[in-house]
Structure formats: C-alpha cells, structure tokens
Amino acid sequence: MNLLNDIYSVLWVDLRVLRRQWIRTLSTSLVNPLLYLVAFGFGLGQGISFDGYSYLEFVIPGIIALTSMTVSFSGAGQKLNVDRLFFKSFDECLMSPVSVYSIIIGKALIGVVRGLFTSIVFMLVGFALSPSLNIDIAFVAVLVLSCFVFSFFGVLVSFLAKSHQDMSTVSSLVLLPMTFLSGTFFSLSQIPEALKIVLYFLPLTHSSESLRAITLEQSFPWIYIFVLLAFGVFFFVMSMVALKRSSV
C-alpha cells in the first residue's frame, strides 16, 4: 500500500499538468497517426491486401502500436528530461522519502496514461472505419504492456541524456527507424530473412505483430508478449541503475 501511495504521489504532479492540457495533448498526439492512416490506409493501400485482409485492416493495429510507442516515450521521457535539466524540479523528487521503484514507475505512468489515452481515441476511429477488427481485453492488455515498455524506455533515455538534444537524437536514430522498419506498414514476410532477424530485436516489431494478430483473430502471439515483457523488465532495471548512478 505504501508503494502505491508513493507511486501516486510521483504521478500526481504530472496528472495535474495533463488535466490542464489534455485537449492540446490529444490533438497534437493524434496528428501523426491520422496522417499515417490517410496516407497509407486510404492512399497507397487502396486495393492492396495482405494474407486475405484489406490493407486498412492490416495497417490500423500497426499504427496503434506506433502511437503507443511515440506518445508513451515522449510523454514520459520529454517531460522528465525538461524537469531534470531545465526546471531542476526532479531534484525535489529525489529528496522526497520515496523509493527508486516509486520514482521510476510514477514517472513512467504519465507516459502510459498519455499513450493509452491517444491510442484508445485512435482505436475508436480505426474501429469505426473497419468494424470487423477484433478489439477485446487481450488487445487492451497488450496495448497497456506496450505503453509501459516505451514509457520505461523514455525514462531510461531521459536519465542518460545530458542535454535536450540527446532526446531528439534518440528519436531520430532509434524511434524513427522503428517507425518504418518494424512491420507497422508492411508484412515482415516480404523482407529478406537476415533483415527480419534484425527487426525482431526492435520492441515495436513485437508490439505491432501482437496487436495485429489479436485484431485479425489469428493465433495468440505468446512469444511476442514474452519478448515485450523482457524489454519492459530490461528498461526498468536499466532505469534504476541509471537513476542510482546519477544521484550519487
């Protein structure tokens, strides 16, 4: 119970900011996924099908996974980076009587909240356009897991960053390649086997494949779920290490 109270105490400040800015946050976060949907789903994807599914059915879960990555990462990482390096308000959090676990989870949760908020709104748009998609509790659970994975990644990067530019560098060198190479907009069965092995080292690949398998009612992707869990645990542990080193 004390751990939950500590986590909420860390999260509470960021929730108050989100409550004041939720319209702006939602509108700016939805721009990219809606543009992807129009450009790929209705533009390039007209008349294309994959494995018996229309391209619109194929690409919507991929864009949802992509949205969970970008919004969760920036929602947790960018805010924490600014608090650490600009406002210096994160020092107050370090001086508070809460555990390292509470700080990391609390700071990651704001990214999860923002990622889920935006992803669910986009999911409703996608479901309205393609009602045949299967949206169930398993889909929501995997979406939550995906948001946690990328929120912890954002927290880790923000602890390692020495400047605001470092966050942009990671976005350009890591997130941007994942956006277009993780099976979000195309089937991994179409690429060479050697490249496919490399892409399976990217967490977004497993998120996209998991959500797509569920929405298209294919066999449940247990292996992807376990890999996502492994990524989440790794980012969480590394965040603890980075925080302890930075606070010494």
Q: Kindly list the domain boundaries of the chain, sorted by start residue.
A: 2-246
Residue 142's pLDDT is 96
Question: What does the angle CA 220 – CA 222 – CA 180 come to, to the nearest 5 degrees?
Answer: 85
Residue 98's pLDDT is 87
Residue 51's pLDDT is 67
Dig out the tokens for 144 from the structure: 């939550």
Distance of CA 217 to the CA centre of its chain: 22
**C-alpha count within 13 angstroms, C-beta hemisphere, residue 132:** 8
Residue 193's pLDDT is 86
9, burial (CB in 10 Å: exposed 0-12, middle 13-18, buried 19+) = middle
**CA-to-CA distance for 8 and 45, rounded, in angstroms?**
43
Residue 46's pLDDT is 67
Question: What does the angle CA 2 – CA 235 – CA 158 come to, to the nearest 5 degrees?
Answer: 90
Question: What does the angle CA 27 – CA 176 – CA 131 come to, to the nearest 5 degrees?
Answer: 50
**243: nearest Cα among 159, 120, 143:** 159
52 torsion bin: left (phi>0), alpha (psi -120 to 50), beta (else): left
Averages of pLDDT over each 10 residues, the chain, 248 residues: 86 90 90 90 71 85 96 94 85 84 94 96 90 90 97 96 91 94 87 89 96 92 96 97 79
Beta-carbon count within 10 A of 169 CB? 13
What is the pTM assigned to this prediction?
A: 0.93
Residues facing 50 on adjacent strands: 53
214, burial (CB in 10 Å: exposed 0-12, middle 13-18, buried 19+) = buried
For residue 49, the surrounding DSSP H or E stretch is strand 49-50
